[in-house]
Amino acid sequence: MILQRSEFRYSAFFLTTALFLAAAGHGAPVAPNPNSLLKGKRVMFLTGAASDHHLVPRQNAVANAKRIKAVAGMASLTLIDKPDNLTFADLDTIDIIVCSYVSKIDTLIGKPFEKAFKKWIASGHRGWVGMHNTGANSEGQWDWFRDSVAAMRYREHKDAAQQGTVKMSPDPAVRALPVLQGLDAQFTVADEWYSFDLPPKAPAPPAWAQAKVLYTLDESKVKLSDPMGTHPVAWIREDALQNRFFYTLLVHSDEGSATDFYQSLILRGMEYAAGYKDPTGLAARRTEGAQGIQGAGSEAGATTDALGIVTAGTGPSGGAWRWCELFRGRIFPSAPRCLNPRSR
């Protein structure tokens, strides 16, 4: 299958012009984190289909993707309106999938994409970025995606969009994370404030235990039919396969999608999904350690060094693949991924 690719190569003049227009219009995102690996990643952006409900925000989502491509750089950027018929072969060359806030992910159930996406996640070392509508999967829609990817058991948003304030986590350890570098401590916007299951009201999906909450909604300043108490708005997590996930409830409105804060938040989310350089020169994401592979068990005879890198093993996903991926990611990031027998 041939994908329609959008390769945005800017000369110094056009890059400067693009950044000036962004600054003069809706504001430019924060500066890219030089420690991020995003520049070498191949990104697929699911833009969603245009609709009367979200038409203008969809356009802003595409513009933001192009802006991040120009500012931060990526090995490639593929824009897809309808991913329904994408196969694993189409996805396997992609490092990060970004779901726009108009991507109704539950509509892909039963389509080739469903099976392909599950296999893509199961192969490990991927990145996923989700926004707003992407995570609004009610029980019985796509439960695997709800529990294993977005990590949010959506309940409702009965209330109309209203002005609300989101605040950065007060936890010093979370504030120190590179995903929050340069972002505002709080931000006010009119939005739809999704409610979802969290203790003590209801159990969260098991994946929620891996989540680090970045921002929460100040519920004292909004009127919600179903208040949550602690109301997360954006979070990150990494699973046992070293897949990295970023999700935010934002954003529904044209106003919100065009703000410097939102554009900056998505840039930081994509950087997190890409991973960061390790000061030692080794890929920081190779931290499986003694946990082994989720769903596959630990590898027989595997040894792990002080950095958590598995260097030997008799299992189907032994050390050779990890070393191949390690050097590919560091030296030839735009080259095809190494063959992983475990995922084939």
Spans of all domains in the chain: 12-274, 289-343
Q: Which CATH entry fits the domain spanning 12-274: 1.10.3720.10, 3.40.50.880, 3.40.50.300, 3.40.50.150? A: 3.40.50.880
Task: Report the Cα–Cα distance between both ends of the chain, in Å, rounded.
Answer: 19
**What value does the mean pLDDT take over residues 16-25?**
32
Q: Which helix (H) or strand (E) holds 238?
A: strand 232-238
Whole-angstrom Cα distance, residue 317 to residue 120?
Answer: 15
Question: Reduced to 3 states, what is the DSSP secondary structure of residue 43?
Answer: strand
Here the tokens at position 53 are 């409900």
Here the tokens at position 273 are 């999904």
Structure confidence at residue 126 (pLDDT) = 97
Number of Cβ within 10 Å of residue 307's Cβ equals: 13
**What value does the mean pLDDT take over residues 262-266?**
93
Structure confidence at residue 74 (pLDDT) = 92
Beta-bridged to residue 189, according to DSSP, are: 164
Structure confidence at residue 275 (pLDDT) = 95
Confidence grade of residue 310 (pLDDT, cut at 50, 70, 90): very low
Here the tokens at position 40 are 């070498």
Contact call for residues 237 and 207 (beta carbons, < 8 A): yes
Highest mean pLDDT among 12-21, 56-65, 77-86: 77-86
Here the tokens at position 247 are 């999700």
Whole-angstrom Cα distance, residue 197 to residue 182?
Answer: 30
Specify burial of residue 141 (Cβ count, 10 A radius: 0-12, 13-18, 19+). Answer: middle
Confidence grade of residue 76 (pLDDT, cut at 50, 70, 90): very high
Confidence grade of residue 54 (pLDDT, cut at 50, 70, 90): low
Confidence grade of residue 47 (pLDDT, cut at 50, 70, 90): confident
